[in-house]
Structure formats: C-alpha cells, structure tokens
Amino acid sequence: MSRPLRKNTLDGIPYCRRDVVEAELADLAAISPQELEARAAARKSSAPGFVSPEALLYFIRNAPAGTHRDKLTQALLDRVVRLARSTSRSSGAVSSLTEKNIQEEVVDHFVDLLLSDRGQYDERLDYYEVNFNSAVASDRYDASDRHWKHENRSEELGTNDDEVPEHVHEAMGDYDPFNADALDEKDYWLLLDDAIDNLPEFQRRIVVMLRQEVPIESSDPSVSSISEVLCKTPKTIATHRDKAFASLRRRLERKGRL
C-alpha cells in the first residue's frame, strides 16, 4: 500500500492521488529497481511502460539515498526542465533572458522542495503527486508573473521619450531590416535575429510585432495594433521603432552585411 499524503485542502480534506496513479504505484512496486529506472527514462507518455511523473515522484520521495534514487531524480528533473519551457516563444512576449530566468526559477523551486523533503517531510510536494503537470504549470505562472513585472518596470525607464534625435534619423536613413533585397545574403536573417535579441526589450517587442506585420496603430477595432498591445501612443512606438532600426543597421554594418 502506498504511503498516504499528509497535506489537507482548505476544507480539511486530505490530498489523495488519482485512482489511476494508485493503481500504477501498485504495478510498479512489483518490478525491479533497474526496470523502473529504464522505464522512468521514457519521455513520451505514449512510450511503452511510461511512468507518470506523479508515480515517479512517489518513488523518489520514498527511496533511500543512493544511485537508484539519483537516477529517478534526474529523470524527473529532465521532465521539469521541459515543462518549464514556454510553449509560445514565437509570440515574442518576453526576452530570451527573461524566459531563461523563468525556466531556471521553476526548476530551482522544484529542486528546493525535493531537498527540503529529504530533510523532513514537506507537504508542499503533495500536490505534485496529485497533478504534477498542473503544479509545474502553476509554478511557471508565478515565476512568469514576477519576471514580467520586473521586466516591465525596467522598460518604463526608457519608453516615454517621443522625439527622435537627429543622429538617429541619420543612422536609420531609409533602412528597413525586413526588405526583401536582403534575402540575397545567406546568413543575413540569422544575424538579424541575433541583433533583434540584443535590442532593449521594449524596442525588441516593437520590432518583433512589425515583423509579424502588426500595424503601429489601427482605426479598425477588430485589428490589434502595437500601440494598443504595448499601451503606448503611436508616436512613442514610432520613435522606438526608428531607434531600433538605427541600432539594427549599425550592428549589421559592423558585421559587414549592409
């Protein structure tokens, strides 16, 4: 019989694993440690003998210290790393650095819980045995909320100026980073992606949306605009677009691609 969970809901009801997990634990208890390790390494739920993360966590929490527990732990951490990744990176919603920080915080938090549980039973891990994916998703939401707020506070320091200095006009000229003429350069688009990633975050968001053909402003309420999404005036958006384009041109010129 599996060890019961100790945490209670706000209504005082003890946490319980799902019936399918309890049945899985009973089946897995009959196999050898070596077979459990091999099956735990399977990443896809469709793989034969796949071990659910809830069951894997149960065996980790109840296994004695040693190589067997370490192998199971590594298999579960690999899954946490994958779950912690964003599923919408193409949206350009956050910088690559912020995204990395979010992932690391989710993984670090889970590792901290595991280490705490090894010292003394930590009820915070109980929900992970009830619904592991949901628990990690909740951790990612919390981490994202903190890091996005920090990122947005940092952006506000430099997003209120509406005038473009003359030297920016000169640096930008008539440069359009998405001009089709650039297609002749074999590695131009890779260098452009790298240059965009190195822009200040507010400017990077503008450029990413322009690349996706989102207009700066729109009179059609059914059409989203950059001004609406970023909650800035069209003039401010245009100012930072020009600054971003000037920066991209300078960077690509240094690379010998313009």
Are 149 and 39 members of one domain? yes
pLDDT digits (tens, 9 = 90+) for 135-152: 999 898 888 877 766 555
- 3-state secondary structure string, 215-226? CCCCCCCCCCCH
On whether residue 10 sits in a domain, the answer given is no
Assess whether pLDDT exceeds 50 at residue 237. Answer: yes
Asked if 129 contacts 5 with a C-beta cutoff of 8 angstroms, the reply is yes
Distance CA 74, CA 232 (A): 45
Residues 6+ apart with CB under 8 A from 129: 5, 15, 17, 21, 54, 57, 58, 61
Distance CA 12, CA 7 (A): 9
Are 142 and 177 members of one domain? no
pLDDT digits (tens, 9 = 90+) for 111-140: 999 999 999 999 999 999 999 999 999 898
Choosing from 122, 154, 186, the residue where a domain stops is 154
Are 171 and 249 members of one domain? yes
pLDDT digits (tens, 9 = 90+) for 54-76: 999 999 999 999 999 999 999 99
Are 137 and 205 members of one domain? no
pLDDT attached to residue 254: 74
In terms of phi and psi (left: phi > 0; alpha: psi -120 to 50; beta: otherwise), the region of 17 is beta
Give the range of the structural domain holding residue 104, as residue numbers without chain letter: 19-154
Assess whether pLDDT exceeds 80 at residue 166. Answer: no
On whether residue 159 sits in a domain, the answer given is no
How much of the chain, in percent, has pLDDT values that exceed 90? 49
pLDDT digits (tens, 9 = 90+) for 12-42: 999 999 999 999 999 999 999 999 999 999 9
- Name the average pLDDT for the chain: 84
In terms of phi and psi (left: phi > 0; alpha: psi -120 to 50; beta: otherwise), the region of 47 is beta
**CA–CA distances in Å: residue 28 to residues 6, 22, 34:** 22, 10, 11
On whether residue 14 sits in a domain, the answer given is no
Are 127 and 50 members of one domain? yes
Are 143 and 46 members of one domain? yes
On whether residue 11 sits in a domain, the answer given is no
Number of domains in the chain: 2
On whether residue 63 sits in a domain, the answer given is yes
On whether residue 61 sits in a domain, the answer given is yes
Choosing from 125, 154, 183, the residue where a domain stops is 154
Q: Which segment, 104-113, 147-156, 217-226, is predicted with the most confidence on average?
A: 104-113
pLDDT attached to residue 159: 47
On whether residue 68 sits in a domain, the answer given is yes
